[in-house]
C-alpha cells in the first residue's frame, strides 16, 4: 500500500478552537469587540514584551497600515529584501513610497547589511528587514546602520512568532513589527495579523487606519480602511496562543532530527542558525545543488509522497508587479537562493516515522542525481 502524503504544511485546529468560535457566535458579538481586545493584550504580552499591539484582518494589512502609521508615504524610500513574499514590497508600494530592493546574505537568507548601507539615499526613510523562515535578521548590524543614518526599522515578522536575537524578542526591535496569522503560520486566527508598536502614537494611528479613520464611532479623524479583525478570528487566535510554544518546541525538535538525518547528504545544505538567534522554523529550508531543485521536488512528491515548497521562486524585483522599481537590478545572492531553496515539512503534526520517511526520501532522491 502506498504511503500517505506528507504535506509541506498543516494547520492545527482542534476542539478548543471550535468551542471558542461557537462561544463567540452564540454571544452575538461577532465583529471587532472584547475578544479582539483580549487577544491584542495577550499577544503583546506573549510575543512583544508587553508592547501595544493592534489586531488587523491580515498580515499584509498590518504591514501596510504600520508603514502609514509610521509616516511612510510618497517621496520616501524603504529598503527591503527582494527574497521574500510579494507582500513585503507591495506594502511599501501601497503607501506611495518606493521599495528599494537589496540583496541577502547567503547564510540565513536575510538582508545583507553592506547591501543595505550601499542603498541608502537622502530619500531613505527606513529599513524593513524580514525574519525569513523564522530566523531573525542580523539585528546588531542592521541596527547599527539605522542608528548611523537616522533611519527607522520596520520588522516583517510574519514568519517569526517567538524567534529572538540575543534574548530580544522579534517584534520588539523596530518602530513596529507585523506578525501574520495566516493558516499555515506557526499559529493562526484563521486569517489576520498583529502589529506590535514601539510608541502609543503609532499604535493609535494603526487603530485609526484599520477602522475607517475613527476610534469614536462616526468621528472620523483621517482617511482609513476597514481592516478590522473579527471576534471570531480573535477567539481562534487566543486558543492558539496557549499552544504555540509547544508547537514551536516541536518544530525545533523536528528540525534537529532533519539536521541529523540529512547531515552529509551530498548536494543538500541544511539550514544554518546564527549563534545569537533562536530560530522558530516556520520553514525548514535546505539549499540544493544548482539545477537539481526542481527534479528533487518532483521526485519527492511523485515517488515518495513527500510534499515541499519553494519560498520564493521569483524574487520581488523580477515580479511584473514590482520590477518597475528595480529596472536592470542585479541581486546575485537573491537569484541563487531562488534557484536553490526547497522547504521540507517541519510542522508539529509530523510523527517520527514521517521524519524518517522525509530523510530517507531526500537522501535517495538527492543521491539519484549524483
Joined together, the cell numbers standing for residue 207 give: 487603530
pLDDT tens-place string over residues 322-349: 999 999 999 999 999 999 999 999 999 9
Q: How far apart are CA 48 and CA 27, in angstroms?
A: 30
Q: What percent of the chain has pLDDT over 70?
A: 99
Coil vs helix vs strand at 6? strand
**Residues facing 54 on adjacent strands:** 195
Q: How far apart are CA 240 and CA 9, in angstroms?
A: 16
Q: Which residue has the cell 537569484?
A: 335
pLDDT at 370: 58
pLDDT tens-place string over residues 74-110: 999 999 999 999 999 999 999 999 999 999 999 999 9
Coil vs helix vs strand at 339? helix
First-to-final CA distance of the chain: 29
Asked if 89 and 212 touch (Cβ cutoff 8 Å), the reply is no
pLDDT tens-place string over residues 173-227: 999 999 999 999 999 999 999 999 999 999 999 999 999 999 888 999 999 999 9
pLDDT tens-place string over residues 163-176: 999 999 999 999 99
pLDDT tens-place string over residues 224-271: 999 999 999 999 999 999 999 999 999 999 999 999 999 999 999 999
Joined together, the cell numbers standing for residue 228 give: 478590522
Query: Which phi and psi (to 5°) does residue 100 adopt?
Result: -110, 110
Count CB neighbours of 204 within 10 A: 16
Q: At what angle do helices 352-368 and 293-304 cross, to 10 degrees?
A: 130
Joined together, the cell numbers standing for residue 196 give: 506590535
pLDDT at 356: 98
pLDDT at 368: 80
pLDDT at 367: 78
Number of H helices, E strands in the chain: 12, 13
pLDDT tens-place string over residues 109-138: 999 999 999 999 999 999 999 999 999 999
pLDDT tens-place string over residues 279-314: 999 999 999 997 999 999 999 999 999 999 999 999
Q: How far apart are CA 227 and CA 35, in angstroms?
A: 16
Tell me the C-alpha to C-alpha distance, in Å, between residue 197 and each of 107, 146, 218, 250: 29, 18, 25, 29
pLDDT at 369: 66
Q: How far apart are CA 32 and CA 11, in angstroms?
A: 24
Q: What is the mean pLDDT of residues 36-40?
A: 98
Q: How far apart are CA 342 and CA 363, in angstroms?
A: 14
pLDDT at 216: 87
Q: CA triplet 240, 68, 105: central angle to 5 degrees?
A: 70
Q: Does the pTM exceed 0.85?
A: yes
Q: Is the N-terminal amide bond of 312 cis, ω within 30° of 0?
A: yes
Q: How far apart are CA 39 and CA 53, in angstroms?
A: 9
Instruction: Examine the pLDDT at 1 and tell me if it is beyond 60.
Output: no
Amino acid at each position: 500500500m502506498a504511503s500517505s502524503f506528507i504535506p509541506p504544511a498543516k494547520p492545527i485546529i482542534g476542539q478548543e478552537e471550535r468551542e471558542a468560535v461557537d462561544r463567540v457566535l452564540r454571544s452575538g458579538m461577532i465583529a471587532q469587540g472584547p475578544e479582539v481586545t483580549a487577544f491584542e493584550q495577550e499577544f503583546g504580552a506573549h510575543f512583544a514584551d508587553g508592547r501595544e499591539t493592534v489586531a488587523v484582518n491580515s498580515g499584509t494589512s498590518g504591514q501596510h497600515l504600520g508603514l502609514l502609521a509610521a509616516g511612510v508615504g510618497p517621496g520616501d524610500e524603504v529598503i527591503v529584501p527582494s527574497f521574500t513574499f510579494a507582500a513585503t514590497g507591495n506594502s511599501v508600494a501601497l503607501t506611495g513610497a518606493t521599495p528599494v530592493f537589496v540583496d541577502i546574505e547567503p547564510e540565513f537568507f536575510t538582508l545583507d547589511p553592506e547591501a543595505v548601507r550601499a542603498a541608502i539615499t537622502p530619500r531613505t526613510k527606513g529599513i524593513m528587514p524580514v525574519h525569513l523562515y523564522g530566523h531573525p535578521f542580523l539585528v546588531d548590524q542592521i541596527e547599527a546602520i539605522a542608528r548611523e543614518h537616522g533611519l527607522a526599522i520596520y520588522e516583517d515578522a510574519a514568519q517569526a512568532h517567538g524567534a529572538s536575537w540575543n534574548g530580544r524578542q522579534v517584534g520588539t526591535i523596530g518602530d513596529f513589527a507585523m506578525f501574520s496569522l495566516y493558516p499555515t503560520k506557526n499559529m493562526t486566527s484563521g486569517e489576520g495579523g498583529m502589529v506590535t508598536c514601539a510608541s502609543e502614537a503609532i499604535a493609535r494611528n494603526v487603530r485609526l487606519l484599520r477602522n475607517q479613520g475613527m476610534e469614536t464611532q462616526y468621528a472620523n479623524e483621517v482617511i482609513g480602511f476597514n481592516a478590522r479583525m473579527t471576534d471570531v478570528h480573535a477567539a481562534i487566535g487566543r486558543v492558539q496562543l496557549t499552544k504555540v510554544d509547544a508547537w514551536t518546541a516541536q518544530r525545533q525538535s523536528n528540525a534537529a532530527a532533519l539536521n541529523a538525518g540529512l547531515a552529509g547528504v551530498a548536494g543538500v545544505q541544511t539550514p544554518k542558525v546564527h549563534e545569537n538567534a533562536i530560530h522558530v522554523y516556520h520553514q525548514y529550508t535546505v539549499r540544493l545543488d544548482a539545477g537539481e531543485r526542481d527534479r528533487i521536488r518532483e521526485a519527492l512528491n511523485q515517488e515518495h509522497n513527500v510534499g515541499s515548497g519553494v519560498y520564493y521562486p521569483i524574487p520581488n524585483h523580477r515580479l511584473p508587479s514590482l520590477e518597475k522599481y528595480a529596472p536592470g537590478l542585479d541581486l546575485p545572492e537573491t537569484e541563487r537562493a531562488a534557484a536553490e531553496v526547497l522547504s521540507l515539512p517541519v510542522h508539529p503534526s509530523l510523527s517520527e516515522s514521517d521524519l524518517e520517511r522525509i530523510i530517507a526520501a531526500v537522501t535517495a532522491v538527492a543521491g539519484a542525481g549524483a
